Structure 1
Amino acid sequence: MGKGDATREIILDEAAGLARQVGLGGLTIGSLATRTGMSKSGLFAHFGSKEAMQLQVLDHETDRFTSEVVRPALSAPRGEPRVRALFEGWLAWDSADGGCPLVAAAFELDDQPGPVRDRLLHNQRDWFDTLATIASTGVAEGHFRPDTDPRQFAQDIEGIMLAFHVASRLLSDPDAAARAHRGLDALLAAAAAPAAP
């Protein structure tokens, strides 16, 4: 990685940290300049516009999520173990300082048309596809019933994750993680293939 790329990564890390606090909409070149001690003109040279900066931060956080949550889960055995690994990775990700910036962005941008929302929408569809594919492999491995609907499974597990996010971050519920695990256990029990006779 060259010096310019390394500098860009440092700037994007700072921008992502700021976005976790103020949201993507609150992320401006001016606020990032204040946080980094860089000049506005220097940051403008890196990004060109607020929207371009927001898009790059969104891509940066999506790449981090893939590296820290999705890829490690894909190394777990297929089926239920992979579902559990993905779930645990997501809980750890959302429990970090500032929570999941992608969830925050989904709430923030759901009714704000434009390129940033379009990118987030694309990323969210990819995430649902990942969840559905993992559910399908659970069927193929014989862990889940043959009539399991992968899209429904994806929506249900996402619902548990979003409920954890609200309970943990907004409500400061100390039992949020335990409730999320019980929700996952119930979902997996409902999808479980019948035991062989």
Structure 2
Amino acid sequence: MSPRNSLAEARRTRERIVQRSVDVASVEGLSGLTLGRLAGDLGMSKSGLLGHFGSKEALQLAALRQGAVIFDREVWRPAAGAAPGLPRLRAVCAAWISYLERGVFPGGCLFVSSTFEFDGRGGPVLALLRRQFRAWAGRLTGELRSAVARGELPPETDPEQLVFELYGVMMSLNHTLQLSADPAAVTRAERAVDRLLPQPAGGPSEKLA
């Protein structure tokens, strides 16, 4: 096998490991990522896994980074083409609700479950989670400030408070879908977003979608 083919194969193997790690972590938590478990799932040896990830912590960090790629693909990219400000925010929230409703991660939102798992532990995993949440909150806050500047939201709007409340809606939706699979949960989340982010002037009158 040529060096180029070897590198391509190593990259594909690493991608398989990371994707399986994301799926397992969303259901069983990041602590459930053991080399033995993953080796069995993927038909690999533990030593083979160690060749790609030298520690469990490295595997956890890789799973979170891949989770962020998936979240961006599912939630931000579908909304990125909308007009800045309120239209984009509503599009983001619609995509966010859809992401949770469709169960993109088998066990619900990877970041919500990982935060509950690591919030009292400290260390590199919690530090990465904090950076990821800050980055997402910063993106939402920027769109809210744009909406205020465009006159789409009242000038006294507190963007940080609105982000806090939007997080609450989505975490509640994730919790309700995972705990009880309540079919009304999505509609409740849509109504909550409609109260927080009213339709832009002249926009369509239908519900958030």
The RMSD of aligned alpha carbons is: 1.7
Q: Does 1:62 align with 2:68?
A: yes
Aligned amino acid, residue 104 of structure 1 = S
**Aligned structure 1 segments of 4 or more residues deviating by more than 3 angstroms:** none
Aligned amino acid, residue 24 of structure 2 = L
Mapped partners of 1:76, 1:7: distance in 2: 36
Percent identity (aligned): 41
Note the C-alpha offset of 1:7.
2.0
Q: Which runs of 5+ in 2 are unaligned?
A: 1-6, 202-209
**Match of residue 174 from structure 1:** 183
Q: Which runs of 5+ in 1 are unaligned?
A: none
Q: 8 Å contact 2:169–2:192 — kept in the other structure? A: yes
Residues 101-112 of structure 1: pairs in structure 2 closer than 5 A: 101-112=110-121
Higher relative CO (Cα under 8 Å, sequence separation at least 6) belongs to: 2
**Match of residue 128 from structure 1:** 137
Note the C-alpha offset of 1:74.
1.9
Return 113-122 or 80-89, whichever deviates more: 80-89
Mapped partners of 1:22, 1:15: distance in 2: 10
Look up the SS of the partner of 1:148 in the other structure.
coil
Note the C-alpha offset of 1:158.
0.7
Q: 8 Å contact 2:21–2:63 — kept in the other structure? A: yes
Q: 8 Å contact 1:145–1:192 — kept in the other structure? A: no
Q: 8 Å contact 2:79–2:88 — kept in the other structure? A: yes
Match of 1:146 among 137, 143, 155: 155
Note the C-alpha offset of 1:4.
2.0
Q: TM-score, normalising length from structure 1? A: 0.91
Q: TM-score, normalising length from structure 2? A: 0.86
